[in-house]
Amino acid sequence: MIISIIVAIVVAVLVYLLVHRMISKRAISIITNDAQKITDAAMNDVLPILIERDYIETPDSQFASETVANMWGAGVMAFEYQFTVGPNKINFDEVRWQLNSQLNTYADQNDIQSYEDVDRIFIVTDLWTYLDQLHIDVAYVVNESTAEYVKDLAKLS
């Protein structure tokens, strides 16, 4: 009788934990998708700057971002973009400055909210080329996890 009660309690706890985990993962997925759409719209708005300077070629189709690796933890709103490199040599400092400036102008114009009034809502966290592709990582600082991610990356560089 006691064993049956213990087994029932263990099963109930396991079911609760499983359901809780599924609900949490679904909520994080919804928030991440919303943040990704906002960041994609901002990047789409500032992309002409890179095209005008021949740093990248005009994308053949609508570009898509990928979530930066989850090794940084759940809830980090950082996305990677890839574009074919254009004919001009890329000045990474200039590209980073231009993107940070224009992305945050876009955020101001569109009243995009940030986490605890951070200085910049969008931050280019990494920028590199590999196999004729320009890779750009952009963080949308909308929560504590992303703010900590940006701080950690700043410590590494």
pLDDT, tens digit, for every residue of 104-128? 999 999 999 878 777 889 999 999 9
Lowest mean pLDDT among 22-31, 39-48, 98-107, 115-124: 22-31
Q: Give the pLDDT confidence score for residue 52 in this predicted structure.
A: 87
d(CA 76, CA 71): 10
Measured distance CA(29)–CA(33) in Å, rounded: 6
List the single range of 38-52, 68-82, 138-152 with lowest mean pLDDT: 68-82
What is the per-residue pLDDT for 71? 65
* 72 or 146: which leads in pLDDT: 146
User: Is the torsion defined by CA of 123, 128, 132, 135 positive or negative?
Assistant: negative
Which pLDDT does position 17 carry in this prediction? Answer: 86
- Structurally, at CATH architecture level, domain 32-156 sits in 2-Layer Sandwich (3.30)
Residues 142 and 118: their CA atoms lie apart, in Å, by 9
The C-alpha atoms of residue 77 and residue 80 are separated, in whole angstroms, by 10
Q: Is the pLDDT of residue 69 over 70?
A: no
Q: What is the pLDDT of residues 141-152, one digit of tens each?
A: 999 889 888 888
Average pLDDT over residues 66-76: 76
Question: pTM of the predicted model, to two decimals?
Answer: 0.81
Neighbour order of strands in the sheet with 78-84: 66-67, 78-84, 133-140, 122-130
